[in-house]
Structure formats: structure tokens, C-alpha cells
Amino acid sequence: MFSLINWSIIRSELLNGRPVLVYDSSNRESETDMVFYARNIDYRKIAFLRREAGGLICFVSGRLFREVLGLSFIKDMFVSNSFYRKLCEKNPKYGDPPAFNIWVNHVDTTTGITDNDRALTIRRLYDVAELVYRGNSNEAIELFTREFYIPGHVPVLTSRGLMNRRGHTELVTVIAMLTDLTPAMVIAEMLSEGFSLSYEDARRYAYRNNFVFIDGVDVVDEAVKKGLIND
């Protein structure tokens, strides 16, 4: 485990297909997520997330991904319905609005839930993100509409910006930017039996496995310095 944040090491870990662990804050969820770079996802890493993390496996990107594809936050879509609006009046106990946009499957999946299927869906979402962040908006839209369908088994989340929300979605989006990677990450909460894995246990797990452990406070500080607080 690396005690000091070294962004070049984090970049190398992610590019080499190793996970990093990201803790949000004791003032929020007080959870640690296991994070992979979406470009390197395969069925083995999905299985690893299931076994070693255990939480919901999600694809995460930034504000630009949402804006180019014309995605809405799912909560905003529900608000337009008079019945669902009542359910939208509440937020999680930590107070932030959710970052969920849509749930998708790739058209070549079978059920969509297997390790192979989710890996395929996520890898192609990475390809969409690559087009988005290279400025190829029309190609990104065409690829997304041609190769995905809803509802599916991979939740897509996009950042609301650390100025508005300090969740794992926003934190890992900034981590991608700080390491010069395309904002296209895969996250899953680390769970213990009955509860989230504690901060201390998550750090011990990182130490035993020689994984980088990142505290969200440090990410926020760096995002402020680099002007990434709104991405």
C-alpha cells in the first residue's frame, strides 16, 4: 500500500489492470469503493469485484459523457410522473441526490448479468467515453444508440461535480482526470457481512494486497488545486 498519493503510480496501477481503493468521507457514506479502469475490464475483474468488493458494479463517467449523449439523471425523469414524484422527495441519509442515469446492456450480451456480459457492456461503454472525450460526439452518439439497449444490468453514473456532490462517482471521475485517463471507471462498494467494510478494515485489506488506498479528502484537495471541482 502507498501511504502518499502519487498520481503516476495510481495511473500505472489502473493502466495495468489493478484496482485502487477509494474512501469517500466519514461525513458521508463512510464507504470504500474498489475501482478499475474500464478499458481493462474483463470477466475475471468483474468476478473479482463480486467476490472481493460485493457491492453494486457500476460504470462511471463525467459530466461531458452525460451531456454529449443527452442522458438525464434517473431521478429527474421520475419527477415528471405524479406518483414517482412522491418518492423523489427523499434523498439518502447522507443527503446527496443520486448520480444514476441509466441501466444498459450491450446488444451482444445474453442475459446481461454474467461476468462476461457485464465486461462486454462496460468495455463498449469505455469506447463510447473515448469518443466523447476525444471530441467525436456524433460517433459516440451513434455507437451508444446502435449497441446498447435498456433496461440492462450495468448502471451508468455520471458526475455532478465535486462542487455539488462528493460521492464516489465524482471522486473517481476526478481521479481519472488527475491521472490523464479517459473518465471511464468501474466501481463497486466494499462490503462486509451485514454492513459496509469499515475504513480500518479497508486500509488493512489494501495493505495485505498491496493496493493503493486513496482518501477522498485528498482527491478533493487536488481537484480544487487543479480547477476540476465542477467536472
* C-alpha grid cell, residue 160: 455532478
Is omega for the bond preceding 98 within 30 degrees of 0, making it cis?
no
What are the catalytic residues?
Answer: 33, 58, 94, 105, 153, 189
Residue 185 β-bridge partners: 37, 60
pLDDT value at residue 5: 81
**Position 202, amino acid:** A
Domains in the chain and their CATH numbers?
7-226 (3.90.870.10)
Q: Read off the pLDDT of residues 116-129 as tens digits, 9 standing for 90 and up.
A: 999 999 999 999 99
Q: Read off the pLDDT of residues 73-104 as tens digits, 9 standing for 90 and up.
A: 998 888 888 888 888 888 777 778 889 999 99
Any idea what DSSP says for residue 96?
A: P
pTM over 0.85? The answer is yes
